[in-house]
Amino acid sequence: MSDFDLAIAVVLANEGGYVFDPEDPGGETFRGISRKDFPAWPGWAAVDAAKRLPNFGAAVMRDASLLQEAKDFYHASFWNPLYEQINSQAVATKLLDTSVNMGMATAVRLLQQAIGYLCAGPVVTDGIFGARTLDFVNGASEADLFRELRARAAKRHHDVAIANAAEEKFVLGWFRRDVQ
């Protein structure tokens, strides 16, 4: 069975701390939580308060309650209760990390496409992680599924960069994330 705490550690390492790159369509983010997409996240008040501190970056990274807010957010918003039934920690972690980076439906569709490729059978790619998808995940070869999911995430990142030249600067970071 997979463990959220192990998976979220990878996500938080990949997402880093506070970032506000004007060229990033996600806009201002803290530990990957985009203010644009999640303006009501309760942690924004603490981030805004910390901006007034002389050592802002270090201050927000040391704030244990803010870290817990981020973990709680990801658990509530991105960790499907069925993920805990995934036998492979590697696949569950990759699915959570890809969900945070690309959105849940996209990540699940990539997973379902990977399963369909490996099983050469009828797998619905609806972006919904349900009991049937869970059965396929747990029935697939862990190594093959993990490799195929990583490849499909990398291809999606490549396609995003090709479609939008402004995002090309993010591609190496995305690829580094994809190969984990």
Model pLDDT for residues 4-55, shown as the tens digit of each residue? 999 999 999 999 899 998 888 889 999 999 999 999 999 999 999 999 988 8
**What pTM value is reported for the model?**
0.91
Q: 87-178 architecture in CATH?
A: Up-down Bundle (1.20)
Average pLDDT, the chain: 92
Q: Is 36 exposed, middle or buried (0-12, 13-18, 19+ CB in 10 A)?
A: exposed
**How is the chain split into domains, by residue range?**
4-78, 87-178
Structural contact between residues 83 and 96, judged by C-beta atoms closer than 8 angstroms: yes
Model pLDDT for residues 121-137, shown as the tens digit of each residue? 778 899 999 999 999 99
* CB neighbour list of residue 87: distance below 8 Å, 6 or more residues apart: 1, 2, 137, 138, 142
